[in-house]
Amino acid sequence: MSGSNVLNIGIDLGTSRSVIACDNGVRTFISSIVGYPKDAISKKLLGKDVVFGEEAAKNRLALEMRRPFEKGMLKFSNLQDLSSAEFERYKGVARDLLHHLVGLVRKESPQAQVVRAVIGAPALASTQNKKTLIEITKGILDDVMITSEPFAVAYGLGILNNALIVDIGAGTVDLCRMSGVIPTEADQITLTKAGDHIDEVLLDLIKTQHAEVDVTLNMVKRVKEENATISEKGERVMALLPIKGKPTSVDVTDALHEACRSIIPDIVGGIRSLVASFDPEFQDSLKQNVVLAGGGSQIGGMARLIEAYMQEHLGYGKVSRVEEPLYAGANGGLLLCKDMPSDYWDELRKD
- Please say whether the beta carbons of 164 and 187 come within 8 A: no
Architecture of domain 3-155+327-350: 2-Layer Sandwich (3.30)
What pLDDT score was predicted for residue 80? Answer: 53
At residue 233, the pLDDT reads 73
Positions of E strands within 90-237: 114-121, 143-148, 161-168, 173-179, 188-191
* pTM to 2 decimal places: 0.90
> Which CATH code for domain 195-261?
3.30.420.40
Tell me: the pLDDT tens digits for 280-331? 999 999 999 999 999 999 898 899 999 999 999 999 999 999 999 999 999 9
Give pLDDT, residue 81: 59
Contact predicate 203/213, CB 8 Å:
no
Write down the pLDDT at residue 138: 93
CA-only gyration radius of the chain, Å: 21
What are the sequence ranges of the domains in the chain? 3-155+327-350, 195-261
**Sites in the chain below the pLDDT cut of 50:** 2
CB 219 within 8 Å of CB 206: no
pLDDT of residue 11: 96
Asked if 3-155+327-350 and 195-261 have one fold, the answer is: yes
How far separated are the first and last CA of the chain, in Å rounded?
18
